[in-house]
Structure 1
Amino acid sequence: MVYRNVIRILVIIFLAQFAVNANTQPAESGNHGLLAIGNSITRHGPSSTLGWTGDWGMAASKLGADYVSQLADLLSTASSSGPWRVTRINASDIETKASAYSIQTLAALHPQDYEVIVIELGDNVPKGTEDTFSPVYSNVIKASKPRNGVLACIGTWWTSPAIDKIIEETCRNAGGIYVDISGLSSIPENVARNERQIDNPGVGMHPSDRGMIEIAHRIFDKISKAIGESP
């Protein structure tokens, strides 16, 4: 329990100092749309301070290795309709500055027009602010639900049962699909610092390429049936 709390504190400090907030990555071309809204695991821009040069999900070794790209590949293979266009957004203010977050930021992206929406948030919610996070997260879910698509809400990477409960209940009440990824970060091979040399400890705590694949498969396994049933 002490170790878990230390991890959460490190992550919160890391995000507060270096997050790329509400940062949108241009969509790639494709016949179907995947919108991923999350924290640094979904997207983090380059940072010389961190020694991080990527502009994708931290800490995948390359763009195609993060969970969003892996999920898009799985969706493309399953649909047999060509590649999916992908938009990644770092919206970590939803976690750290929930009461000040503007839902209009998401509305401007027209999430209702995507076939799949992934919400990956919760890891960086400061302890004791769960009550503030909960209603804002609920508004995010309502604003992000696609018109004729599938909404997937991802649990926490650095497992937080209290936050996971909020995410699961809120998501299911809104008709979305909850994806539990608890336990993945406790497997050494799923953590970036165990996959390759990473000097910054905050970066190294993020998913490895294998960890990203595991996240993508958990999402796909949960949503694949629902996608087939969508209009």
Structure 2
Amino acid sequence: MKKLLTVFIAAIYTLTVSSVYAEYADLPKVTRVLILGNSITFHAKRPSIGWSGNWGMAASTPDNDYVSRLELKMRRKNPNVIVKADNIVRSFENKYWEFDASSVSEYKDFNPDLIIISIGENIRADTAKKYPLYNPMRELITYLRSNNKDIPVVVVSSFWPNLQVDQQLGEFAKKEGLIYVNIGGIYKKNNKNTAFKSFTNPSIQIHPSDKGMKKIANRIWRQVRKVF
């Protein structure tokens, strides 16, 4: 009897896990990943502020930013994965309410089959109240999915605590049926997860350290690995 019960429980577990991943079973294998964000995703070299990197601020090396860590995980699943990551502060985040689709045409032309949007850190709470994010975010993602409206999309919350922005991003993702990743809690342990000990410029210090980047990558990966 005990053996039969164990077999029964195992069967139920298998069915449950299978049902969770069933919605992704018919998706084609992901090979082209588009990651759009701000300075945490990519920041070009700027010696005037003490930043010498050409990768996600404030990782110590390119391999330590969250984009590279994610790419490594993805390539373990599919060695043919191509990742394109860029900063859309000027083309979207700074004035998202005036969004012009032509400014991001190169990303649509990349023909991604997975899109990750990680913005919000540069949006003030009062700005988000005055200019709600829903319609601009919807316009951005609809345009990026012009070639395939069924592309999985991941929306990532702000690294720096921003309740107003994160609520809007979370509600948007839920209503649109997108994947939402909350990374907000990582900043709480800022003595470990930010770069205060590695840089003197305050605008760099508040960015994720190597540990912070690793945690961001891990949280995103837990949500996207099912599509690989």
TM over 0.5: yes
- Partners in 1 of 2:221 and 2:152 — Cα distance? 11
Partner of residue 163 from structure 1, selected from 165, 186, 190 = 165
- Partners in 1 of 2:93 and 2:132 — Cα distance? 7
Distance 1:151 1:189, change over 3 A: same
1:133 Cα offset (Å)? 4.6
Distance 1:111 1:213, change over 3 A: farther
Distance 1:87 1:133, change over 3 A: farther
Partner of residue 121 from structure 2, selected from 98, 120, 123 = 123
Q: Residue in 1 aligned with 2:144? A: 144
- Partners in 1 of 2:166 and 2:61 — Cα distance? 28
TM-score by length of 1: 0.77
Moved more, 35-44 or 137-146: 137-146
1:127 Cα offset (Å)? 3.3
Are the equivalent residues in 1 in contact too, given 2:155–2:169 (CA < 8 A)? Answer: yes
Equivalent pairs, count: 193
- Partners in 2 of 1:200 and 1:95 — Cα distance? 22
Distance 1:144 1:168, change over 3 A: farther
Are the equivalent residues in 2 in contact too, given 1:42–1:90 (CA < 8 A)? Answer: yes
- Partners in 2 of 1:112 and 1:175 — Cα distance? 23
For residue 128 of structure 1, give the secondary structure of its aligned residue in structure 2. Answer: helix
1:176 Cα offset (Å)? 1.4
Q: Residue in 1 aligned with 2:60? A: 61
Q: Residue in 2 aligned with 1:218? A: 219
For residue 44 of structure 2, give the secondary structure of its aligned residue in structure 1. Answer: coil
Are the equivalent residues in 2 in contact too, given 1:125–1:133 (CA < 8 A)? Answer: no
Mark the runs of 5 or more structure 2 residues left unpaired by the alignment. 1-29
Q: Residue in 2 aligned with 1:39? A: 38
Are the equivalent residues in 1 in contact too, given 2:125–2:162 (CA < 8 A)? Answer: no
Are the equivalent residues in 1 in contact too, given 2:170–2:180 (CA < 8 A)? Answer: yes
- Partners in 2 of 1:114 and 1:136 — Cα distance? 20
How is 1:72-87 mapped onto 2 (pairs within 5 angstroms)? 72-77=71-76, 79=77, 81-87=78-84
1:129 Cα offset (Å)? 1.4
RMSD: 1.9
Distance 1:133 1:37, change over 3 A: farther
Bigger radius of gyration: 2
Q: Residue in 2 aligned with 1:192? A: 195
For residue 48 of structure 2, give the secondary structure of its aligned residue in structure 1. Answer: coil
* Code of the aligned partner of 2:138: S
1:98 corresponds to 2:96:
yes
Distance 1:214 1:111, change over 3 A: farther
Moved more, 63-72 or 128-137: 128-137
State, as a whole percentage, how many aligned pairs show the same letter: 28
TM-score by length of 2: 0.78
Q: Residue in 1 aligned with 2:14? A: none
1:111 Cα offset (Å)? 6.1
Q: Residue in 2 aligned with 1:14? A: none
* Code of the aligned partner of 1:224: R
